[in-house]
Chain A
Amino acid sequence: MTAKGIENSETIIESCKLIIAGLDSQEAEGKEVLQSAIDILEDMKEKFFLKTNLAIPPTNACKKDVIELQLIVEGGDLSRFPELIDRFRGNMEKLLKHAKMEGVIIT
């Protein structure tokens, strides 16, 4: 069974690719954020963190963001794009922080 964190990451990567394709030449800065998320997650997929339960809440949050972003890009109204891409960037930063696993102790 694929770990939920990896499953979420694959969904995020696919959604990011679709959003980038759907944006054409618009929102260059947003595209950079999405591409950077793809690169980070591709790298993280090789590491144990995404197989842990710790990865589920932060990847859930990022997945929710990209699904919303994908919907608005598909709908053609980008008025909420800056707000959502900011939220996604924030949640990706939280994911990276979680991946450092600070405070994780097994006794």
Chain B
Amino acid sequence: MTSKVYYMDARSNSPQTSLVSKMITVFEAAGFDKLIKPGDVVAIKLHCGEWNNTGYLRPVYARTIADKVKSLGGRPFVCDTTTQPYNPYATRCTALDLMVTAERNGYSSATLGCPFICADGFLGMDDYRVDLPEGYILKEAYIAQAIAAADVMIVLTHFKGHALGVIGGSLKNLGIGAQSKRGKFNVHMGCHPTYGLGSSAIFHPENCKGRKGEEDWQILEDCCPYGLIHVTEDSIEWEREKCVNCLSCLRPMISRGIWELSEDNFNATNAAIADACLATVKAVGPGKVAFINMAIDISKGCDCICFADVPIVPNLGVFAGYDPVALDKACLDKVVEAEGVQGSTAEEMEVMESGVRKFESCSPLMAGLSEEAQLNTGEIIGLGTLSYELVPVDEKEMTDVAFPPDPRPVGVRFRRLFKKLQPFPYDRYEGKGYNREEKVDLERVNTHFDDKK
């Protein structure tokens, strides 16, 4: 079976080829407008970006989809979920933190024209449990309640790299992003007897000099929200059997050599991401979830880090379809096909050539992870297929993308108004309007600094 992936490239040279116009063009080409019936509650799931990240999608994309949903009679809301702590200074860990960060990043009802919702409640415990007998590793998942409650979901994804997942596409937007906080612990293998961090990481207490020897030892205790790390006078203790895999101690621990992460933990989490994505689709309803991937600003890291590096490849385009596996695979293939961007990590990692896998070298924390692991799992469990047909979509007519609040030609809009309130001062300087030189030496300025040397 082959899935259709509707596609437009990233070049823009007219109003109808703006990336915003292209996004809504592929939305319609994929038939997403037929999905929404009057009165439907429509979740628009995206990543609102971490504090100081600049790679996340501009709010105008979500706004445009929200407007489209409203024009079809639907009731849209834009949403993201609370995160695990992930680091000692996390910025989206509660609904309060998430809303503050989202608003700072431009996501508010004022910009979106609809509410921005934290989908899993104040502490990430508002969820809906889904049985998953077909899961590769997960046999249940916990979906953010507002997402599970929606009639339809549009998954709007910024396609990029990821330190754990290797890629961050549609599967990860739902496989992590649509899970409640306790759902995220599940996907990350918290307390898993084989793949959990507590079970699989190599612990080197001998690399911690304890309270006597570590000047900033306090952060080692303060970074664990469960209080499982204890710095002794000359070493460190870790109640590893209780570790929930929240990863907030990751940097303080591994930068000191106290831990060695396990590849198995990463690989198991990647398989679980596909499982949790399938669970989300089941929660909303098969055929009720539509996916759009914006393959632009393709940074090596996720939007959940507090910065965004130079993109590793140029902007690639806009992709839409019902099969998230096919969609992510199509984006991934385009990244492999593209040449790397000079001055980016692609150059530092020597993966600039077309035909070379970029993410595997640039994005994951550890070598040896496949950029297709999530996708392979997705195909095995029946979430989608790696076989796809890329369907090029024609651009709209210019009249279709005219200024929506008043699409009439400007002569019609302003002629009467300008007769009443004339902005050009025709009455001054014999109709020329302003006091200006009649003629100047333009060649004198139309030159370069180097030409004058």
What's the nearest-Cβ distance from chain A to residue B67, in Å? Answer: 30
How far apart are the CA atoms of A10 and B176 in the complex, in Å?
38
- A60 to B257, Cβ gap below 8 A? no
What is the chain A residue whose CB lies nearest that of B259?
A48
How far apart are the CA atoms of A30 and B364 in the complex, in Å?
36
- B348 to A56, Cβ gap below 8 A? yes
What's the nearest-Cβ distance from chain B to residue A21, in Å? Answer: 30
Q: Interface centre among B84, B250, B255, B361, by most A CB within 10 Å?
A: B255
How far apart are the CA atoms of A82 and B341 in the complex, in Å?
32
How far apart are the CA atoms of A106 and B259 in the complex, in Å?
15
How far apart are the CA atoms of A103 and B52 in the complex, in Å?
11
Query: Is there a chain B Cβ closer than 8 Å to A107's Cβ?
Result: yes
**Residues 18-48 (chain A) with a chain B CB within 8 angstroms:** 46-48
Interface residue SS majority, chain B? loop
- B86 to A53, Cβ gap below 8 A? no
Q: Contacting chain A: which of B119-127, B299-307, B410-418?
A: B299-307
**Residues 158-172 (chain B) with a chain A CB within 8 angstroms:** 163-164
Q: A101-B251, A107-B83 are in contact. Are A52 and B348 (CB under 8 A)?
A: no
What's the nearest-Cβ distance from chain A to residue B162, in Å? Answer: 8
Query: Is there a chain B Cβ closer than 8 Å to A102's Cβ?
Result: yes
What is the chain A residue whose CB lies nearest that of B349?
A56
For A63-107 the 0/1 string (1 means CB < 8 A from B) is: 000000000000000000000000000000000000111111111
- B365 to A52, Cβ gap below 8 A? yes
What's the nearest-Cβ distance from chain A to residue B269, in Å? Answer: 9
Q: Which residues of B contact A48 (CB under 8 A)?
A: 254, 257, 259-261
Say which residue of B259, B302, B365 sits within 8 Å of A54 (CB atoms): B365
Say which residue of A47, A53, A102 sits within 8 Å of B251 (CB atoms): A102
- A52 to B366, Cβ gap below 8 A? yes
How far apart are the CA atoms of A48 and B366 in the complex, in Å?
10
The number of residues on chain B lying at the interface, defined by a beta carbon within 8 Å of a beta carbon of chain A, is: 35
For B218-252 the 0/1 string (1 means CB < 8 A from A) is: 00000000000000000000000000000100110
- B361 to A60, Cβ gap below 8 A? no
Q: How big is chain A's contact interface, by range?
A: 20 to 34
- B255 to A100, Cβ gap below 8 A? yes
Q: Interface centre among B259, B364, B365, B368, by most A CB within 10 Å?
A: B365
Query: Is there a chain A Cβ closer than 8 Å to B345's Cβ?
Result: yes
Say which residue of B254, B306, B361, B362 sits within 8 Å of A105 (CB atoms): B306
What is the chain B residue whose CB lies nearest that of A5?
B367
Q: Which residues of A contact B349 (CB under 8 A)?
A: 53, 56-57
A-side residues, CB < 8 A to B, are: 1, 3-4, 46-49, 51-54, 56-57, 60, 99-107
What are the nearest 9 A-B pairs in CB distance? A47-B257, A57-B348, A107-B304, A101-B255, A48-B260, A105-B87, A106-B164, A101-B251, A48-B254
B-side residues, CB < 8 A to A, are: 50, 83-84, 86-87, 163-164, 176, 207, 247, 250-251, 254-257, 259-261, 302, 304-307, 345, 348-349, 361-368
A-B contact pairs, 26 of them (CB 8 A): A47-B207, A47-B255, A48-B254, A52-B254, A52-B365, A53-B364, A53-B367, A54-B365, A56-B348, A56-B349, A57-B345, A104-B163, A104-B250, A104-B255, A105-B247, A105-B250, A105-B251, A105-B305, A106-B163, A106-B164, A106-B247, A106-B365, A107-B84, A107-B164, A107-B176, A107-B304
